[in-house]
Amino acid sequence: MKLNRRTFVGTGMAAAASLSAPSVHAAGHGKPRVVVIGGGAGGATAARYIAKDSDGAIDVTLVEPTRTYYTCFFSNLYLAGFRTLESIAHSYGTLAADYGINVVHDWAVGVDRDAQTVTLAGGDTLHYDRLVLSPGIDFVDGAVPGWDVTAQNAMPHAYKAGSQSELLKRQIESMPEGGLFAMIAPPNPYRCPPGPYERVSMVGHMLKDMNPTAKILILDPKPAFSKQGLFEEGWAKHYPGMIERIGPDFGGADVSVDPEAMTITVDGEVTNVDVCNVIPAMKAGRIVEIAGVNDGNWAPIEPSSMRSTIDANIYVLGDSTSAGDMPKSGFSANSQAKVAAMTIRGELTDSRVFPAKFSNTCWSLIGTDDGVKVGASYEATEEKIAKVDGFISQTGEDEELRRRTYEESIGWYEGIASDMFG
C-alpha cells in the first residue's frame, strides 16, 4: 500500500476537522466499522464497550499481536511472589465469543488516514470509520546512554509485562550474596508514576528473605516522585539500610550503562552491578507516530471525547496520550476508553452521549499487607482533563488500614480485568 504524507504528518485541515463530529462513511458497506489497535486496559475496554453497548450495530475489530496479555499493573507483585504470572495473564477468547469482536493477532504497521485503512504486518488491510489507538508506550531512543532495546536481555526494563518480568525475577534470584541491584528510573512523564518505586519495594521484599546483605541503588533524574513519603517510610520500616536513592543533585540525571561489562557510570564514577533494571524515558506507542497523530512524544486529544486533535476519525487512549492532569495508568486508560466508546457509539448509532467523567486510582504494595493508594476524579474542560478532587494514603497509618487497602487493590484488579476482557 502506498502511504501518502498524511500517514505521517497531521495537517491543519485535519486539526480543524476535529472541531466537529465527522460524517460516517458506512454507506455501501453495511455496518459502521471500528478498528481498535492495542489490547490492553484502553483498547480491550473500548472494543468491549463499543461492541456490547451497540448491540451488534457496529463491526468491531481488535488488533493485538499477543495472544496472551500480561497486565503491567500487579506485575511487580509477581516479582515478589504475591502473584503468579498466570494470575496477571489474560486471553481474548471471551471478547471474541461473547461480544462478537473480530480479534486479529497481528502487528499494525501502517495507517492511511485519507483512505481510512490500517495495514497489518501479515499483509491484510482493514477499513475503518473510526480508529482507536491504544498501543501503550515505547521507549525514547538514546534516553539512557549505552542502552537500547537490544540490551533488554542483559539489562531488562520489565515495563512491558510478561517475558521481561520473568527475566528480571530470575536475575534477582541469581544475584550473588551481598550483590547490588540498580534501577535507573525514568523522567516524567511515564507509565504508572509509582511503578518504579513499588518495584523497588518488591525487590526489597525478595532480597530481605533470600539475600539480606544485598543492596538496592536507585538512580533517579527526578527531584521527587509519586508517593515518596509513603515509600520512604515503608523502606525504612521493612528494608532498613538496604535502599539508597541518588537524585539529580548528586548524579541521578547523569547516568550511562555498559550492558556487556554490567557497569553503570554515575556522574563519571563507574560501578559494577549484578542486576540493572533500566526504565528509559517513554513515548507513545509506535503506531501513534505512524498514524501521524502525535505532537512530540505524545498524542494530543480533545478532553471531552479522547478524539485526536489532528484527525477527527481517530481516538487515542491511555499511556500514549497527553491527558492533562490524568496520570498514565491502567485505570486511567480503562476510564478514558469508556468515554471514547460512548462518543463513538453516539456518532455511529445516534445513541445518547453523556458528559465525560474520568477517574483513576493507583495502588502500590510496599511490604506484606502494607498497601497504599493515590487517586482522583477528573472532568473535561476546554483546555484539558482537569483534576476535580483526589486522595492519598497518609504516612503513619495503622497496619489494619494498610491491610484493607491491599485487599481493596486485589478486588479492584479482579474488577478491571473483568471489565477489560469480559
Residue 3 is predicted with a pLDDT of 38
pLDDT mean over 225-229: 98
- Report pTM: 0.92
> Could you tell me how many residues make up the chain?
422
**Do the domains 5-138+282-355 and 144-278 sit in the same CATH topology, yes or no?**
yes
Query: Which residue, 385, 405, 264, is CA-closest to 318?
Result: 385
Q: How confident is the model at residue 144 (pLDDT cuts 50, 70, 90)?
A: very high
pLDDT mean over 297-323: 98
What is the tens place of the pLDDT at every residue in 2-54? 333 333 333 333 333 334 455 454 445 689 999 999 999 999 999 999 999 89
Rounded Cα–Cα distance for residues 201 and 158 (Å) = 15
Rounded Cα–Cα distance for residues 292 and 6 (Å) = 7
What is the CATH class of 144-278?
alpha beta
Query: Which residue, 201, 194, 221, 242, is CA-closest to 393?
Result: 194
- Average of per-residue pLDDT values in the chain: 94
Rounded Cα–Cα distance for residues 108 and 262 (Å) = 35
Residue 22 is predicted with a pLDDT of 53
Rounded Cα–Cα distance for residues 177 and 212 (Å) = 8
Q: Please list, in sequence order, all residues whose beta carbon lies within 8 angstroms of the beta carbon of residue 146, skipping any fewer than 6 positions away.
A: 256, 257, 258, 259
Q: Is residue 145 predicted with pLDDT exceeding 60?
A: yes
Q: Could you tell me how far CA 245 lies from the centroid of its own chain?
A: 24
Judged by average pLDDT, the poorest of 18-32, 101-115, 245-259 is 18-32
pLDDT mean over 378-394: 97
At residue 120's C-alpha, the angle toward residues 116 and 126, to 5°, is 35
Which amino acid is it at 301?
I
13 or 228: which carries more pLDDT confidence? 228
User: E strands along 141-230, which residues?
Assistant: 180-184, 215-219
Q: Between helices 163-173 and 195-210, what is the axis angle to 10°?
A: 40
Rounded Cα–Cα distance for residues 167 and 154 (Å) = 9
Q: Is residue 190 predicted with pLDDT exceeding 80?
A: yes
Rounded Cα–Cα distance for residues 409 and 74 (Å) = 9
Residue 284 is predicted with a pLDDT of 98
Judged by average pLDDT, the poorest of 24-33, 254-263, 270-279, 285-294 is 24-33
Q: Are the C-beta atoms of residues 163 and 78 closer than 8 Å to each other?
A: no
Rounded Cα–Cα distance for residues 241 and 208 (Å) = 11
Which amino acid is it at 14?
A
Per-domain residue ranges of the chain: 5-138+282-355, 144-278
**What is the grid cell recorded at 381?**
474542560
**What one-character DSSP code corresponds to residue 135?**
-
Q: What element of type H or E holds 266?
A: strand 263-266
Q: Are the C-beta atoms of residues 369 and 399 closer than 8 Å to each other?
A: yes
Query: Which residue, 235, 236, 233, is CA-closest to 199?
Result: 235
Q: Please list, in sequence order, all residues whose beta carbon lies within 8 angstroms of the beta carbon of residue 301, skipping any fewer than 6 positions away.
A: 307, 308, 309, 315, 316, 321, 322, 323
Q: Is residue 413 predicted with pLDDT exceeding 70?
A: yes
Q: Are the C-beta atoms of residues 134 and 316 closer than 8 Å to each other?
A: yes
Residue 399 is predicted with a pLDDT of 98
CATH H-level superfamily of 5-138+282-355: FAD/NAD(P)-binding domain (3.50.50.60)
Q: Is residue 254 predicted with pLDDT exceeding 50?
A: yes
CB-count exposure of residue 60 (10 Å: 0-12, 13-18, 19+): buried
What is the tens place of the pLDDT at every residue in 44-88? 999 999 999 898 999 999 999 999 999 999 999 999 999 999 999
Residues of the chain by 3-state class (helix, strand, coil), percent to 5: 30, 25, 40
